[in-house]
């Protein structure tokens, strides 16, 4: 089914990762990202590793290519470091991965931990040169007296090797932890954002970057908000947005001035006084912001909801979807166990009609912007037969619980879907649940 026709039925496709009960911290997936044509899918984990999955190229005759994703390349992107000046450990955890558009047979991606961004080149090698004049096949150098004839080296086929090599390392530009990276539509520059500053980089230049946003107050005691996410516009290379812990989104235009401290538009919704509570400020913090593929809309995720904003209207969102409103009564215990600070991401479908974001108990939510229908689905190993349609999950908030419902008091807050990704043109989604990566497809 083409993206966005009629009601979607999601079915299980694959799961990657081990089943062990005691998961090591290093194996927990910390980001998921499809590349521009959806043929590759990258995950980063808390152990600093990047795993790239490639879609199978085979297709059945007469059938649409479903294609499973299999491991293509695994490499250690970041190592744990220690900042001796600040006596600070720098984790190896991969915070974000962003693909560059493909311009030649190689693939390029950016990965970042808290302090350092790296540009990786991923290449295939299926031939090797043979027939050297100055070297034996084993690599030992021959003496000139042994060389009696000249040979022309030739390329011979060999088993496919995928190599990942770091091409650029962009370091020492952030005092605070990097939370976002975003590649510009010009494919020449990218930005990296930390809690108080956003820097603009050229992909070829590692020793300097331009500070384009700086919200650090002269006196740090006056600090009231931090930057939580930032993203470039998909087609306008001069525009970008960043969100804050106060629930505001600022649209900036780099043509107006070098330091974008004056936004061109600010999107914020006044708080409903009836919902005002001790937790209001924490739950209004935006954890993710994403432009739609057509560049007209933004989605933002705060703790309890997803909002859709039209770039032409900054006074209020045009759509608001409640993700887990039933947790509003549980904010006190969520604050005590620190779950209230969880940063959920959100994703657009390829045609911008559907939105996906995560919740607790390994639930994730889908919203259809046209029909206004919403689904609650679960990433679990229980319904793992291929093509099994995922059952709708329902949560009961009190009173009598129906047969299929799960009580809000039984939700497991240690199981959470923070990272999700949607294939750029097909209805294939990737969902990270702790150390497992689930892939679901729309039933044909």
The pLDDT of residue 65 is above 60? no
Band (233; pLDDT cuts 50, 70, 90): very high
Higher pLDDT, 107 or 156: 107
* Residue range 424-434: mean pLDDT, rounded: 94
> CB neighbours (10 Å) of residue 275?
12
Domain ranges of the chain: 10-123+169-442
Q: What mean pLDDT comes out for the span 131-138?
A: 76
pLDDT for the residue 59: 52
Give the integer Cα–Cα distance in Å for 254 and 208: 18
Neighbours of 64 (CB within 10 A): 11
pLDDT reported for residue 133: 79
Stronger pLDDT, 3 or 295, i.e. the higher one? 295
Q: Which of 250-259, 313-322, 416-425 has the lowest mean pLDDT?
A: 250-259
Asked if pLDDT for residue 66 goes beyond 70, the answer is no
Instruction: Give the per-residue pLDDT at 64.
Output: 52
Residue 239 pairs with which residues in a beta bridge?
Answer: 253
High-pLDDT (> 70) share of the chain, %? 96
Q: What's the CA gap between 111 and 164, in Å, rounded?
A: 12
The answer, yes or no, to whether residue 389 has pLDDT greater than 80, is: yes
Please tell me the predicted confidence (pLDDT) of residue 355. 97
Residue 297's pLDDT is: 96
Given a cut of 60, is residue 4 above it in pLDDT?
Answer: no
Higher pLDDT residue, 21 or 295?
Answer: 295
Torsion angles phi and psi, residue 339, rounded to 5: -65, -25
Total residue length of the chain:
444
Please indicate whether residue 104 or residue 19 has the higher confidence score (pLDDT).
Answer: 104
CB-based burial label for 226 (10 Å; 0-12, 13-18, 19+)? middle
Q: Picking from 26-30, 161-165, 301-305, 364-368, which range would have the lowest pLDDT averaged per residue?
A: 161-165
Q: 444 falls in which pLDDT band (50, 70, 90)? A: low
Least confident of 259-263, 334-338, 365-369: 259-263
How confident is residue 385, by pLDDT bands cut at 50, 70 and 90? confident
Average pLDDT value for residue range 70-77: 94
Positive or negative, the CA dihedral 211, 216, 219, 220 is negative
- Residue 62: pLDDT band (50, 70, 90) is very low
Inter-residue contact 200 to 189 (CB < 8 Å): yes
Query: For position 153, what pLDDT does the model report?
Result: 83
Question: Among 106-115, 118-127, 147-156, 329-338, whose mean pLDDT is lowest?
Answer: 147-156
Q: What is the pLDDT of residues 143-201, one digit of tens each?
A: 777 777 888 888 888 888 889 999 999 999 999 999 999 999 999 999 999 999 999 99
Dmax of the chain from CA atoms? 93
Residue 61, burial from CB neighbour count under 10 angstroms (0-12, 13-18, 19+): exposed
Q: Where does the pLDDT of residue 1 fall: very low under 50, low under 70, confident under 90, or very high at 90 and above?
A: very low
Mean pLDDT of all residues in the chain? 89
- The pTM of the full predicted model, rounded to 2 decimals, is 0.88
- Among 18-22, 388-392, 410-414, the range of highest mean pLDDT: 410-414
The architecture in CATH of the region 10-123+169-442 reads: 7 Propeller (2.130)
Round to whole Å and give the CA distance between 295 and 36: 16
């Amino acid at each position: 089914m083409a993206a966005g026709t009629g009601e979607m039925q999601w079915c299980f496709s694959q799961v990657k990762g081990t089943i062990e009960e005691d998961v090591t911290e290093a194996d927990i997936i910390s980001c998921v990202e499809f590349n521009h044509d959806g043929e590759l899918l990258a995950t980063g984990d808390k152990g600093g590793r990047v795993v790239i999955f490639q879609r199978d190229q085979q297709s059945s005759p007469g059938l649409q290519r479903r294609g499973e994703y299999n491991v293509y390349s695994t490499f250690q992107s970041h190592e744990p470091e220690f900042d001796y000046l600040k006596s600070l450990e720098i984790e190896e955890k991969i915070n974000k991965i962003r693909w560059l558009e493909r311009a030649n047979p190689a693939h390029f991606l950016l990965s970042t931990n808290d302090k350092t961004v790296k540009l990786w080149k991923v290449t295939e090698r299926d031939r090797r040169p043979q027939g050297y004049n100055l070297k034996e096949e084993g690599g030992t150098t021959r003496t000139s007296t042994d060389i009696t004839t000249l040979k022309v080296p030739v390329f011979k086929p060999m088993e496919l090797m995928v190599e990942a090599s770091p091409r650029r390392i962009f370091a020492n530009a952030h005092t605070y932890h990097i939370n976002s990276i975003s590649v510009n539509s010009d494919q020449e520059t990218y930005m990296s954002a930390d809690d108080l500053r956003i820097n603009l980089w050229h992909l070829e230049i590692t020793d300097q970057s331009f500070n384009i946003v700086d919200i650090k107050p002269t006196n740090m005691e006056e600090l009231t908000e931090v930057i939580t996410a930032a993203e470039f516009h998909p087609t306008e290379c001069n525009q970008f947005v960043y969100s804050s812990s106060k629930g505001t989104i600022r649209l900036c235009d780099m043509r107006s001035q070098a330091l974008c401290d004056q936004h061109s538009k600010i999107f914020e919704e006044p708080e409903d006084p009836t919902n005002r509570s001790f937790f209001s400020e924490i739950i209004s913090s935006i954890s993710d912001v994403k432009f739609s593929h057509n560049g007209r809309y933004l989605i933002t995720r705060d703790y309890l909801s997803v909002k859709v904003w039209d770039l032409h209207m900054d006074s209020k969102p045009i759509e608001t979807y409640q993700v887990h409103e039933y947790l509003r009564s549980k904010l006190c215990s969520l604050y005590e166990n620190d779950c209230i600070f969880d940063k959920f991401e959100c994703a657009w479908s390829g045609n911008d009609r559907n939105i996906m974001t995560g919740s607790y108990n390994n639930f994730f939510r889908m919203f259809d912007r046209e029909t206004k229908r919403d689904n609650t689905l679960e990433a679990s190993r229980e319904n793992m037969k291929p093509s099994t349609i995922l059952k709708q999950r329902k949560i009961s908030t009190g009173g009598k619980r129906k047969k299929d419902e799960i009580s809000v008091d039984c939700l497991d807050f240690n199981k959470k879907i923070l990272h999700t990704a949607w294939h750029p043109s097909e209805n294939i989604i990737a969902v990270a649940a702790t150390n497992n990566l689930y892939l679901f497809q729309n039933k044909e």
